[in-house]
Structure 1
Amino acid sequence: MIVSREKIPGVVIAGLRGGSGKTIISLGITAAWIAQNITVAPFKKGPDYIDAGWLSRAAGRPCYNLDTYLCTQSVVQASYLTHSQPCDIALIEGNRGLFDGIDIDGTTSTSELAKLLDLPVVLVLDCTKSTRTIAAVLMGCMQFDPDINICGVILNRLAGKRHEGKVRANIERFCNIPVLGALPKLTQEAFPERHMGLVTSEEHGESDMSLTRARQVALDNIDIDKLFGLVTSFKGQGMPVVDNARQEQDAVLEINTTGNLNSITENDTVTIGVVRDSAFQFYYPDNIEALENLGARVKFISPLSQTDIPEVDAIYMGGGFPETHATQLSANQAFRDNLKVLSRKGLPIYAECGGLIFLGESICLDEVVYPMTGILPLRFGLSKRPQGHGYTEVEVVNENPFYAKGEVLRGHEFRYSKVISIDYEDTAMAFKMIRGKGILEKKDGFFKDNTFGTYTHIHALGSTRWAPSLIAKARRFKASRE
């Protein structure tokens, strides 16, 4: 990734809380602009995969995550500057409430990101059973942090024209903020939800039809042209300068710079198998690109549709929903057996969350046990409530295939699965949890041979040793076979 210094106009779509409707509104705006031949660079604030997948589909290009907990502020700025090229406009969907962060100062909040990138905010207001109070809430947001530029609001979940008129009149009188749109209450049929939010676009049977509906909702209820004009004419203060920003950007992004390819020979080139299908789909684009730009050929493989595993030098398994595909995964014994054989031969395998479950012995759902690969002695179940939810911080306390002892990593976990039983020794767990739950007893990073499974998702531009380490392991495995 070559860092561009030219800033593209952009807007942050924020809400007062999670579930306020900003995802469907963001999708609708993106799809509407695309229909007008406006190129949109989509971004998702925070460590979300599902919303990012929908935004990517709506925009027709990768959606990148911007997260100041997983990555430094300067790297987040660099990611925005680079990945918004060469588009006409960027759209960033926020997460949770506008000012919600990990501490009382609002660290990692959507508002912090808007200031870091010097972008205006459009605030989605859920007007359910409220009228004048909406203006009071908006005024509070405007005064809570005067450095945030709320350029407009979109009213959501209105009961009708009379309800809309009352809310509009109060906002115009007390807040002097333009109302850019007003949406009625929508059914959930077009965008069904699961415990982690929206169903993934890959699993949704009619995702293109749903995006078409979201686009039409935006065109019918939001002044798309006025919004575009406000964003593109916005004159901010300029991106704040972060200490050592330029040097840090260049150093960190070196793992993702195509210039590195000039020194890579054919003997250095490795093939990384990435397990990606509707069961395993949670990947940051930056992680895949980091591997490719270090000289790896990425080959996508699927335990849902393939029985044989092609010749690869390492495997990367992301998260997803193996529990909703348990019948198919357990039925494909050939793939499971082949992966176990390769693991015992020393093939480097790195797995996160859903991938970790697939490495285990089984998962029990509604008292039915579904066999997995049996590579790691773990047996899983599923809970109705989250078992791990939020950012993580880990210290590497044991020697392992991928990380240096003493290293501290930041990531996140969001899961409903739980460990029913496990057979392990302390030395087989690489991580001690400083923040988060991990696999068991504040431990995570279970490894055996060159196979490594963890509940912690990492971002390649924040955990900069991950991609080079996986590539190095792949090269050694490739050399051992020659």
Structure 2
Amino acid sequence: MVRAVVIAAPASGSGKTTVATGLMAAFARRGTAVAPFKIGPDYIDPGYHTLAAGRPGRNLDPVLVGEQRIGPLVRHGARGAEVAVIEGVMGLFDGRVSDGYGSTAQVAAMVGAPVVLVVDCKGQSRSVAALLHGFRSFDPTVRIAGVVLNRVGSERHAEVLRAACAEVGLPVLGVLPRRTELAVPSRHLGLVTAAEHGVAATSAVDAMAELVAEHVDLDAVLAVAEPLPGGDVWSPGTGEPQGRRPVVAMAGGAAFSFGYAEHVELLDAAGADVVLVDPLRDEKLPDGTSALVLPGGFPEEHVVALGGNAPLRTAIRELAATGAPIHAECGGLLYLCRDLDGVEMCDVLPASAAMTGRLTLGYREAVALTGSSLFAAGERVSGHEFHHCAVTPRAGERPAWGWRGAEPEGFVHGGVHASFLHTHPAGNPGAVARFVAAAQVGS
């Protein structure tokens, strides 16, 4: 039996990442097997969750995968665990801008898990009772099981806050004092990734674990967690793949860390041998590479090192020239351009990339404008765009995607499918199977 609990907050910046990651690490350190999850399309928090729990951090996003897959994905990721700790996104009821779809509250209901609310108490005392009353009554189907009070200034402050929580009948599961040393470096798209932060990321997780273990009642959190309902378990494959197993190289490391755990599982189930390659370190592709996956990440932060690795850039350009299937998203798109901020990149695509001061963010309902090794022309997907970059031209002669209110975007160039649009492979398993089949043809 796996128990589950959702860690949410009234708003971003309340401390839910500290509490969720700290809980994962504190449980794991006392021998409780933890399955870590993050609601929404965020790639960064799951890296810290992986460090904390010692298991792959996974995302739950009904916009990207469909609500029918949320329960099965949780049960898949939680196999062998004792408790699933699910970190929410933004405020409890915040989701897709247009309608709130995909909010933490909605996913908690899909999973059948209670919510622990992390409240930033700096600057308030008894008013926390009104806040809690409002959040609990706004949607009675959301089961708020307890509260963690964060950034509490003193023992007296804690006493007043506890009394306020008692007024609305919600138990206090933890009281965290104000501290500043847990701050993890951030940049234009959020926290610095765990892959980039290295030893300091481990130290940050250690500090979160110690803080939570000292100031949160772990047994009380386990007591409010509830068993996951039974049901289907997501599977990356339905049978034995046919044909030769092609080698699919997948970029990783500090520059390309934006990926979903299910992607590798789906590639493997479809019949591929997935081999990781770090463009910051490796000077050649794995032997026998038939296809390449270039996920998102922060290539702009490592542009000099990426540009300096000429042997790998040449190898990728030569692979693309053979027509081999290459799947590049966001950061991967930048890497395939002629140059990024004036530094030479792979020169696979007839475009230049540059950082801008403008954030492009949001879900996209997109249609494939050109058939490729991933999608048939006319196929529709739900995706997510999140970057501070511009590519000129925005699309090639054979654009990858179109969506309402925007010009065509991305490139289908030989065997390359490259764009800013992030998709979740679990929401598009047919695209992964199609990609591997294309790799088998060329292997």
Residue matched to 1:456: 421
> Residues 102, 424 of structure 1: CA spacing in aligned structure 2 closer, same or farther, 3 A cutoff?
closer
How far does the alpha carbon of each residue in 1:327-385 deviate from its partner, in whole angstroms, 9 at most, with x for none? 10011111112211211111211100000000001111xxxx21111111221111234
Structure-2-length-normalised TM-score? 0.95
Residue matched to 1:4: none
The secondary structure found in structure 2 opposite 1:384 is: strand
Shift of 1:402: 2.4
- The answer to whether residue 283 in structure 2 is matched with residue 307 in structure 1 is yes
1:422 counterpart letter in structure 2:
P
Shift of 1:229: 1.9
Distance 1:404 1:207 in 2: 40
Equivalent runs, 1:134-153 vs 2, <5 Å: 134-153=128-147
1:289 counterpart letter in structure 2:
E
2:404 counterpart letter in structure 1:
I
Distance 2:245 2:16 in 1: 42
Residue matched to 1:260: 239
> Residues 209, 335 of structure 1: CA spacing in aligned structure 2 closer, same or farther, 3 A cutoff?
same
How far does the alpha carbon of each residue in 1:190-210 deviate from its partner, in whole angstroms, 9 at most, with x for none? 522222222111111422222
- The answer to whether residue 331 in structure 2 is matched with residue 337 in structure 1 is no
Tell whether the 8 Å contact from 1:395 to 1:434 is kept in structure 2 after alignment: no
Shift of 1:57: 1.2
Equivalent runs, 1:269-280 vs 2, <5 Å: 269-280=245-256
Distance 2:84 2:136 in 1: 23
Residue matched to 2:408: 443
Distance 1:187 1:337 in 2: 45
Residue matched to 1:465: 430
* Structure 2, unpaired ranges of 5+: none
Residue matched to 1:194: 187
Identity %: 34
Distance 2:355 2:77 in 1: 37
- The answer to whether residue 84 in structure 2 is matched with residue 90 in structure 1 is yes
Residue matched to 1:3: none
Tell whether the 8 Å contact from 2:361 to 2:387 is kept in structure 1 after alignment: yes
- The answer to whether residue 354 in structure 2 is matched with residue 370 in structure 1 is no
Residue matched to 1:404: 376
Distance 1:373 1:196 in 2: 24
**Which stretch of the first structure deviates more once superposed, 74-83 or 441-450?**
441-450
Distance 1:318 1:103 in 2: 25
Shift of 1:186: 2.2
> Residues 89, 189 of structure 1: CA spacing in aligned structure 2 closer, same or farther, 3 A cutoff?
closer
Tell whether the 8 Å contact from 2:338 to 2:344 is kept in structure 1 after alignment: yes
- The answer to whether residue 75 in structure 2 is matched with residue 81 in structure 1 is yes
Residue matched to 1:289: 265
1:350 to 327, 333, 340: 327
Distance 2:99 2:130 in 1: 22
Distance 1:468 1:50 in 2: 26
> Residues 278, 423 of structure 1: CA spacing in aligned structure 2 closer, same or farther, 3 A cutoff?
closer
**Which stretch of the first structure deviates more once superposed, 186-195 or 355-364?**
186-195
**Which stretch of the first structure deviates more once superposed, 55-64 or 157-166?**
157-166
2:174 counterpart letter in structure 1:
G
Residue matched to 1:242: none
Distance 1:399 1:294 in 2: 20
Distance 1:143 1:423 in 2: 46
Distance 1:328 1:31 in 2: 33
The secondary structure found in structure 2 opposite 1:389 is: strand
Distance 1:453 1:139 in 2: 47
Residue matched to 2:7: 13
Tell whether the 8 Å contact from 2:373 to 2:415 is kept in structure 1 after alignment: yes
Tell whether the 8 Å contact from 1:272 to 1:297 is kept in structure 2 after alignment: yes
Structure-1-length-normalised TM-score? 0.87
The secondary structure found in structure 2 opposite 1:292 is: helix
The secondary structure found in structure 1 opposite 2:409 is: strand
2:239 counterpart letter in structure 1:
N
Tell whether the 8 Å contact from 2:395 to 2:408 is kept in structure 1 after alignment: no
Tell whether the 8 Å contact from 1:362 to 1:380 is kept in structure 2 after alignment: yes
Tell whether the 8 Å contact from 1:377 to 1:423 is kept in structure 2 after alignment: no
Distance 1:106 1:423 in 2: 29
Distance 1:309 1:297 in 2: 13
* RMSD (Å), alpha carbons: 1.9
Shift of 1:111: 0.4
Tell whether the 8 Å contact from 2:114 to 2:144 is kept in structure 1 after alignment: yes
> Residues 126, 90 of structure 1: CA spacing in aligned structure 2 closer, same or farther, 3 A cutoff?
same
Tell whether the 8 Å contact from 2:4 to 2:227 is kept in structure 1 after alignment: no
2:17 to 16, 23, 26: 23
Tell whether the 8 Å contact from 2:182 to 2:207 is kept in structure 1 after alignment: no
Residue matched to 2:33: 39
How far does the alpha carbon of each residue in 1:74-112 deviate from its partner, in whole angstroms, 9 at most, with x for none? 211111122211111110000011011225753211101
Shift of 1:398: 2.5
Shift of 1:163: 2.0
How far does the alpha carbon of each residue in 1:110-144 deviate from its partner, in whole angstroms, 9 at most, with x for none? 10111111111000001121112211011001110
How far does the alpha carbon of each residue in 1:280-323 deviate from its partner, in whole angstroms, 9 at most, with x for none? 01110111110001111011112211212222110001000001
2:13 counterpart letter in structure 1:
G
> Residues 235, 333 of structure 1: CA spacing in aligned structure 2 closer, same or farther, 3 A cutoff?
closer
The secondary structure found in structure 1 opposite 2:180 is: coil
Residue matched to 1:392: 364
* Structure 1, unpaired ranges of 5+: 1-6, 240-245, 436-440
Shift of 1:27: 0.9
Distance 2:162 2:33 in 1: 31
> Residues 226, 402 of structure 1: CA spacing in aligned structure 2 closer, same or farther, 3 A cutoff?
closer
- The answer to whether residue 395 in structure 2 is matched with residue 433 in structure 1 is no
